[in-house]
Amino acid sequence: MKIQEAFLKVFVLLVVFATPLFSQSVTSSGIGGVVRSSSGDLANNVSVQALHVPSGSRFTTTTNSEGRYNIGGMRVGGPYRITFTAPNGDQSVVDNISLSLQQQRILNTRVRPSGDIFELDAFEVTANEFSSTFNENKQGSSTIINAESISRIPTVSRSINDIVRLDPRMASYDEDSGTLSAGGKNTRYNSLLIDGVPTNDSFGLSDSGLPALKQPFSLEGIAEVSVQLSPYSVENAGFTGAAISAVTKSGTNTFKGSVFGFYRNESMVGELEDLYWVNRNKTLPEGTEEETIVPIDNFEEYTAGFTVGGPIIKDKLFFFALYETVEETVTQDPGTWFPTQEQLDRISFMIDEVYQFDPGVLTEPDSLTRVDDKYLLKLDWNISDKHRLTTRYQLTEGEDPNYPDSGFNSVAFTSHNYIQNFELKDYAVELFSNWSSTFQTEILASFKEYNQFRALVTDPLPEIQISSVDGIDGDPGSVWIGAEGNSQANNLNVETTTVRSKISWLIGDHSIKAGIQYENFANVNEFIPNRFGRWFFRNGVQSFENADNPGNVENYSLTLPAPGQSGIAEWEMSIVSAFIEDNWKATEDLTLNFGLRIDFPVLDDVPTLARSSSEGTFEEVFGYTNQNTLDGNYVIQPRVGFNYAFDEDRTVQLRGGAGLFFGTAPHVWISSIYVNNGNSQESYYASVQQTPAFSADPNNPPIPDAVNARVNVDLVDEDFEMPSEWKSNLALDVQIMDNMVFTLDAAVSWTNKDIHYVHENLKRASNFLNPDGFIADGRTEYDNAQARSREAGYRDVIRLTNTEKGYSRQVTTRLEGRAFENLSYNLGYTYTRAKNVNDGLASTAYSNWTNNVGFNPNDEILGRSRYETTHRMVASATYSHKWSEKHMTIFSMFYDGRTGRPFSFVMGDGGPTDINNDGNTSNDLFYVPTGVDDPLIVWGGNNSEENLALAAEWMAGIEKIDGLGKYKGEVVPRNSGTSPWIHQFDIGITHQITLFNDHKLELIFAIENFGNLLNDQWGLERRINGSGGNLPIITVNNTTRLVDGERRPVYAYYPNLDNLSEKEWYQTRTFSSRWAMQLGVRYSF
C-alpha cells in the first residue's frame, strides 16, 4: 500500500511543480538533427533509416514539420549508414557514423536529387572522434571512453578504475583497493551502472565499492564507458559523486570471438625500500642495512577466458557470451613465533582428553588461493524496425581464504580460518520501441542478488585465545583456536529489483522525455559477533588447564539474538521516482534543457523499540525515538542545462548548467538502526571471577548471570534524507585546427544534505579543578571512563542527522587530439578544493562518529575532505606503427601525477592519547602554541630552563612545517596536512599479428609504475604512519596552573624533535608503490 501511495504522491508533485518543459538512455545511443531540402528549406516527412552495418539492425523514423527527427534506443558504436529519403525521391546517405553511450549524435543534412553519398574519409573520421564533445546535448562534465581506448589503456589490474582514471576529475583515493573519488567526495557516493543495472556495492561493505572479490565484470566484455559528474538530464540519479556507466558488447551478423590469457608472478613485481622488518617487529638479519630492499611475498596470478558472439538468426537475433577466471596464489608470511613442544602438548591434551573437541590442525599457512569467476550471456533481438529487445544474464563468484592471527607473535589452528565468499548474479531485459516518428518508449526491468558470507573451514567452535604461551624463540605469544569472533555469524544478502519506463515525444523544436522508476533494495545483514562465544586466557597454558575455575578466564564475551528476535538486520527500502524533461532547440545555436525529478523513499520496516532504562523509555530519556526511518522524505530535483555554439561548424561551444542530485548513502549506515537497539541482540561480558565454566559447545554457549547493563542504540532523525548535492558547471570547448580540442571546465557543487553524527550520551566532566568542564584551549572535557555513559542503561547512543554544510570546487583543463594519423594524446589537469563535515570513512555509526577528528566530537564543523586530491595531472598517448600488412605494434602510455592524501595533526606521540577524555584516542586536533611563553602550555610539565630551551627549538621546527605556523594560538583544522606528491606512469605494448582473414594474435605487455622500475625511489606513494591516517605530533597531558590566584586548566607539552622530521611521518604503501608487470596473449577471430 505504501508503494501505491508513493506513486500517487510522486504523480501529484509532478503535476504541481512541472511546467510544459530528450536525452539518451543510460544503456543506448541515438541520432537526431534537422533535414533541409536542396534549396535549404526545412524538409518534413523525410524518411530516415539508420542501418547498423555489423548486425543489419535498422532504425527508422520521419522528420516532423520542423524538419527535425530523432531516433533513440540505438546500439552503441557502429559503423552506421544513415539514409535520408524525401517524398520526391531526393536522397542523402552518410556512412561510417559511430555513436557514443548516452549521447545523441547530431547529424544535420540536405537531401539532394543526385542522391550523393557522403562517406567520411580519414580526415572526417578524426573529426568524428570529437562528436561526443561538440554536441548540442552535451552540457555537464563528462567523458566517453570507447572500446578502442579501453583496449589500449595499459593496465595490470584490468579494472574499470584504470579506465575511468582517464578523466582528471576522477582521482585515486586508494590505489590498492581501486577506489576513486569524484570532486573530493566519498568514494561510496559514486554509482556504477552496467547495461542500466545498478552494479556498485549498495550496502557499502566492500573496500573497492564493487560487489565482488575483484570486479563484477570483465573488461573483455565492455563496449564503452561513460563518466558523468553533472549530467543535467533528470534521468540520472543515485549519486552525488560521479555516475559511471558501461554497456556490454553485443553479437553481430559475423561470428566473432577471442581466447585470452594474462600472467604475472613475484618476479614481475618490484622490490621496495620499505620498513618490511620493522613493520613486523622483526629483528634485522645480520649484515642487513637499516633500510632493507625486500621483494613482495611470493605470488602467482593468471587470468584466462574467452568471448564469442554472432547471429542466431541473421539480422534478427544475436548472442554474446563471455567467461573469465582469475586465480591468485599468495605465499603467506610464515612468521617467526611458534609454541614450544611442551606447551603445545599441554594444550593438545586439554583439547583431546578434557574438553574433547576438534580444533583442526596447528600449521603455519604456506599459501592461499583467491579465485574470481565471471560469466556473461547477452541476447539482442531486432523484433522489427520499430522494436528492439536486449536481455542479459551475469554471474560473478569469488573466494578469498583468510588466515587471521597467524602473524609474527601468534599462530592459529585451522578452525580459526574462514573463506570470504562473494556471489553476484543479475538479470536484465530492456525493450526499445519507436512507435512513430515522434513517439518512443523504453522499458527496463532487472533483478540483482548479491551474497557476501564467511564460511568456516571446520565445524564451528567458540574463539579461544591463549596468550603468554612460551615460544621456541624464548618470547611469549598467543595460540588461537576456534572461529574468529567476527566470522561466527557474518552473512549479507542484498536483492535489488529495478523497473524503469520512459517515453520520448518530439514536438516541433521540443523533445519531451518523461519516466517513472521503481527500485527496491531487500537487505538481510546477519552480523552477530561472538555468536559462539569468545574466551580469553591471559596467563598462559596453565589458565587454560584450569578453565573450570573462576578467575582463570580473563574475560568471556557472547552475543545472542534477544528472546523472540533473530538478531538480524532485515529491512527493505524502495525508491519511487518520476521525472519529466524538455530538451528545447531554442535556436540553431542554442539548446536548452529543463527537467524535474522526484525521488521518494519508502520503508515499511520499523526498527525494534529500544530497550528502556530505569529512568524511563528511550524516548523519555533522550527526547528522540529510535523508530524513525527515511520513509516519505522525498527530494525534488530541478535541473537546467544549456549548450551554445558560436559558429555554424560548432568548433567553439559554451555549455553548462545547474541542478540538484539525489544520491544514496551506503545502506550499512541505515542498517544499524534495525539491530543496535538493545532489544534485537543481547551482549554478555564477564571477567575473572564472573566468568562461567569453560565450554567449547557452539550451540549451547554458557550464558553469564546478567546481560550487559548498558546497550548501544543507533537512530536517525525523523527528517533524515539521503545525501543530495547542488551541482553546477560552465565549460568552453574549442577545436584547434582540425585535430585538437581544448576544454576549460569550472564546476562548483554545494551540499544540500549530507551526513552528521551526534553522540547523545556524552557526560561532561565536572570536578573541583575544572568545574566548568573545559580544558585549556576551550574544548569540552568529558568524564573519562563514564564519558559515553551519561544516562543509566545506555552507552553509545549515536544519532544520524543531516548537515547542509559542504562544498566542492573544481577547475579542469584538457587538451586532446591527434598529432598524426597514428598518434593520439590526451592531457588534463584538475584543481580540487572540497570540504565536508564528516568523511564517512567507516561502516558503523560509532566508527563514523569517532573517526571524525575535531575540536569537540559533536561539533558540526566544516573541514577539508579526506578524499580531496588538490592537484591532479594526467597524460595519455597511443602510437601505432604498421611494420607490414600482417604486423602492427601499438605503444601506449599513461601518466598520473597527484597530491597525496590529506591528514590531520592530532594530539599524541606514537601512542593513544585522549586529551578531552571522551573515550576516543587519536582524534583530538593539535593546538599550536603561540610561542614558548604561551600561557596555555607548561613545557615538560614544569617549564624548567632545559624544557624551555627544547620548546624553543621545537617551536622553530613547527614554523618550518608547511602550513602549521599560521595556526599559532589556534587548533589546526581537520585534514590540513597533505601527503607527498605521487608521480606514476604506466606503459603498454601490444603487437598484433594478422594470421589470415580476420584472425589475429595479440601479444600484450604492460607495466604499471614504470618509473619505479627505473629507480626504486620513484613512483612511491607515502601515507601517514599513524592511527586512522592522522599524525600524532606532541605528547600532552591535562594539568592546571595558578593564574591570577586561580587554578586554570593548561596543557603539559612534552616536545620531541623527532616528531618534526617528515621522513618519520610516512610509510610507503606496500603494493601501489611497486612496479608491476603483466604478460598477455589474445587470439581473436
**CA 907: distance to chain centroid?**
30
- 386 or 1082, greater pLDDT: 1082
Per residue in 151-166, pLDDT (tens digit) is 889 999 888 888 999 9
Q: What is the DSSP letter of 353?
A: I
Residue ranges and CATH numbers for the domains of the chain are: 24-128 (2.60.40.1120), 145-254 (2.170.130.10), 257-280+295-648+661-901 (2.40.170.20), 905-1084 (no CATH)
Per residue in 887-915, pLDDT (tens digit) is 999 999 999 999 999 999 998 876 667 88
Distance CA 289, CA 291 (A): 6
Q: What is the predicted pLDDT for the residue at 134?
A: 81
Burial 479-514 (b: 16+ CB within 10 A, else e): bbbbbbbbbbbbbbbbebebebebbbbbeeebbbbb
Task: Say yes or no to pLDDT of 681 above 50.
Answer: yes
Distance CA 857, CA 837 (A): 11
> Which amino acid is located at 115 in the chain?
G
* Helix H or strand E segment including 824: strand 823-836
Closest to 813 (Cα-Cα) out of 895, 898, 745: 745
Q: What is the predicted pLDDT for the residue at 320?
A: 97
Which of 102-116, 571-585, 800-814 bottoms out in mean pLDDT, i.e. has the lowest? 102-116
pLDDT band at 277; cut points 50, 70, 90: very low
**CA 867: distance to chain centroid?**
11
Q: What is the predicted pLDDT for the residue at 771?
A: 61
Distance CA 529, CA 534 (A): 9
Question: Average model confidence (pLDDT) for the chain?
Answer: 87
Task: Say yes or no to pLDDT of 759 above 90.
Answer: yes
At 929, give phi and psi (nearest 5°).
-60, 150
**Which runs of E-coded beta strand occur in 772-806?**
794-803
Mean pLDDT computed over 913-938: 88
Burial 79-93 (b: 16+ CB within 10 A, else e): bbbbbbbbeeebbbb
Per residue in 183-210, pLDDT (tens digit) is 999 999 999 999 888 888 999 888 778 8
Distance CA 396, CA 324 (A): 9
Per residue in 1027-1071, pLDDT (tens digit) is 788 888 888 888 877 666 666 788 889 888 877 877 778 888 777
Mean pLDDT computed over 631-654: 92
Which of 262-271, 534-543, 609-618, 910-919 bottoms out in mean pLDDT, i.e. has the lowest? 910-919
Q: What percent of the chain has a predicted confidence (pLDDT) above 90?
A: 54
Within 13 Å, how many C-alpha atoms sit on residue 117's CB side?
Answer: 7
Q: Which is it for strands 794-803 and 711-716: parallel, antiparallel or unpaired? A: parallel
Closest to 642 (Cα-Cα) out of 728, 740, 548, 753: 728
Task: Please tell me whether residue 278 adopts helix, strand or coil conformation.
Answer: helix
Q: What is the predicted pLDDT for the residue at 12?
A: 44
Task: Say yes or no to pLDDT of 273 above 70.
Answer: no
Per residue in 336-381, pLDDT (tens digit) is 789 999 999 999 999 999 999 999 998 766 778 999 999 999 999 9
Locus of grid cell 550451540:
699
Judge residue 555's burial from the number of C-beta atoms within 10 Å of its C-beta, 0-12 exposed, 13-18 middle, 19 or more buried. middle
Q: What is the predicted pLDDT for the residue at 982?
A: 95
Which of 737-741, 831-835, 840-844, 997-1001 bottoms out in mean pLDDT, i.e. has the lowest? 737-741
Task: Say yes or no to pLDDT of 635 above 90.
Answer: yes
Cell representation of residue 641:
542545462
- Helix ranges (H only) for 434-564 are 541-545
pTM flag (> 0.75): yes
Mean pLDDT computed over 118-139: 56
Q: What is the predicted pLDDT for the residue at 16?
A: 40
Which of 106-110, 246-250, 271-275, 1003-1007 bottoms out in mean pLDDT, i.e. has the lowest? 271-275
